Structure 1
Amino acid sequence: MICSHVTVPVMIHLKLHELPAKHVLKRWTRDARDIIPPEYLRYQKDHGPLKYSSR
């Protein structure tokens, strides 16, 4: 994990406007939706309510 206290001054010095992709974990991106554990799927806001089977 890169510390922002070190990263920001270095990025300014190197005139970088975004983090290199290799330093961004997938779980911090929108693409992380495909790695959500099944027990947390119910908390996704972009899906409708879960359908429960009545037994």
Structure 2
Amino acid sequence: MVTLIRWFINLKLTEEWHVMAATFAFLFIFLFFFNWWSCRGPLMLVEFVGWWEGGGD
């Protein structure tokens, strides 16, 4: 019983660590992408819309 509780606590800690790591990774990627988007994004979007309207050629 004690082993089961200890295993559950370990699982809980691991789960929280996993969520925290995923959150940090998401924030890092989001900030990096936002920084890139503010520099290149609008131009890329205009190019993509032009490509889409032009039939994808």
TM-score range, shorter chain: under 0.3
Larger Rg, first or second structure (1 or 2): 2
TM-score in terms of structure 2 length = 0.25
Of structures 1 and 2, the one with the larger relative CO (CA 8 A, separation 6+) is: 1
Normalising by structure 1, report the TM-score. 0.25
User: Which protein has the bigger helix share?
Assistant: 2
